[in-house]
Amino acid sequence: MLAAGLAVLALVIVCAAVAWPDDSPLVPRNGGHPEGESRWAWIFLVSALASLAAYGLGLLALARAQVRLRTVVILAVAIQLAPLGAPLLISTDAWTYWDYGRIAAVEGGNPYRDPPEEFAGDPAYPHIGEDWRDTTSVYGPAFTLTSEPIALAAGESEDAAAWIYKVIAAVASLSAALLAALLARRRALACAFAGWNPLLALHLGGGGHNDAWLAVLVMGALAFGVFGRPRAAGAAWALAVLVKWVPLLFLPLRLLGARATGRRLGFAGFAIASAAVLALATWRYQWHWFSAFGPLAANAAEETSYSIPHRLQQVGLPRPVALGVCLVGFAVAYAALLRRARHGEERLALAGGIFLLATPWLAAWYTAWIVPLAAAEEDRVARVLAFALCVYLAPQAVPI
């Protein structure tokens, strides 16, 4: 099992290393369009898939044996932090965060009202993805408020901006894994499930995606709830929702589960944290922060090539039918999970996994929403689904 963990680490290091050659297409350039020799991307993809295979074998071995938690944690730290040795990988999202932060903190604009193209002379503008140049921020006000001091710290350096977001994401991903271990009965297995996951390492520590922020806040909320800190749990839920709206999917299940088990709910913490962030956001961005729902809805109306609705279209279903099948399937499954939650069985990870199967906008780094949850809940079905999604999405966004 330790050999499997070491293999994951070695292969993640290979993925990081092949981003460094000048002709590697793995570093996003020119508005996100990859340029360079495809052989580096193929080495990256083969190594990533091999690391997922080693990861799976390691989990199977850990499920059948006992190993010291400290050993698993050390490997998790190494795996999640290894991509910090690479330049920004595959996605321009971290530079987009930097640009939105600079619009507010440096340019005197409002990222919920003013798209980046209105500040085309800003040093961040050439580095963001072309699809985002005419789009206002889709992120919650807690994230946007935080992006301002990060933009000031990074200054005019794209490398500094990428490094800051990569470090935050790597630390958040690792922290989510440790929290999963804290919440699970089989702590070593839970830590490995989240902390040895190479896809999370490559897209969070490698790509700096803010999905890691969401993951650690949700896991922190669960931990606070378990250890009798309902106000802190409520505040963590509020912050998670105000980074991205995704945790709203989990809250009905959590509320029903709490009612069934008699667990105290952190309404006061949720309300206080929400009020504080929204008051600050309203002062800073006026009511324009509401407009984040506009680009978000526009994205939901589009689709990525790896989404299940798109795959259904490829086998002949008309787009409305494909979307309808996925929407109805999710609604039925979610209703069943709500009924389970009324009896104290929350299954947040499974709800998130089913949502990923239904959404038309699916990206590899979205697996950060469910992998730590599946580790903590020790839900076998959710773990299988999370692992399958990681394997399926491994080629997504790799420029081959």
Residue by residue, pLDDT tens for the chain (400 residues) are: 789 999 999 999 999 999 999 999 999 887 666 778 899 999 999 999 999 999 999 999 999 888 889 999 999 999 999 999 999 999 999 999 999 999 999 999 999 999 999 999 999 999 998 888 999 999 999 999 999 999 999 999 999 999 999 999 999 999 999 999 999 999 999 999 999 999 999 999 999 999 999 999 999 999 999 998 999 999 999 999 999 999 999 999 999 998 888 888 889 999 999 999 999 999 999 988 887 776 555 555 677 889 999 999 999 999 999 999 999 999 999 999 999 999 989 999 999 999 999 999 999 999 999 999 999 999 999 999 999 999 999 999 899 8
The phi and psi torsions of 184 (rounded to 5 degrees) equal: -90, 160
pLDDT of residue 34: 73
pLDDT of residue 32: 65
For residues 261 and 249, is the Cβ–Cβ distance under 8 A?
no
Q: Which two tokens stand for residue 124?
A: 């961040």
For residues 343 and 257, is the Cβ–Cβ distance under 8 A?
no
Please give the Cα distance from 372 to 360 (Å, whole number).
Answer: 23
Please give the Cα distance from 142 to 145 (Å, whole number).
Answer: 5
pLDDT of residue 264: 83
CA 380 to the chain's CA centroid: 21
For residues 143 and 213, is the Cβ–Cβ distance under 8 A?
yes
pLDDT of residue 298: 59
Nearest to residue 278, comparing CAs of 252, 245, 239? 239
- How long is the chain? 400
DSSP string, 144-165: HHHHHHHHHHHTT-HHHHHHHH
**HSE value, Cβ hemisphere, 13 Å, CA-based, for 198:** 33
Please give the Cα distance from 393 to 360 (Å, whole number).
Answer: 14
**C-alpha angle with apex 68: 171 to 215, nearest 5 degrees?**
25
Please give the Cα distance from 162 to 205 (Å, whole number).
Answer: 10
**C-alpha angle with apex 313: 198 to 138, nearest 5 degrees?**
55
pLDDT of residue 2: 82
Plot region of 68 (φ>0 → left; ψ -120 to 50 → alpha; else → beta): beta
For residues 106 and 123, is the Cβ–Cβ distance under 8 A?
no
Nearest to residue 129, comparing CAs of 151, 159, 96? 96
With tokens 């080693």, the residue in question is 54
DSSP secondary structure letter of residue 131: G
CB neighbour class for 226 (10 Å; exposed up to 12, middle 13-18, buried from 19): middle
Q: Residue ranges per domain, the chain? A: 2-393
For residues 166 and 202, is the Cβ–Cβ distance under 8 A?
no
Residue 393 pairs in a beta bridge with none
Please give the Cα distance from 73 to 187 (Å, whole number).
Answer: 10
pLDDT of residue 400: 85
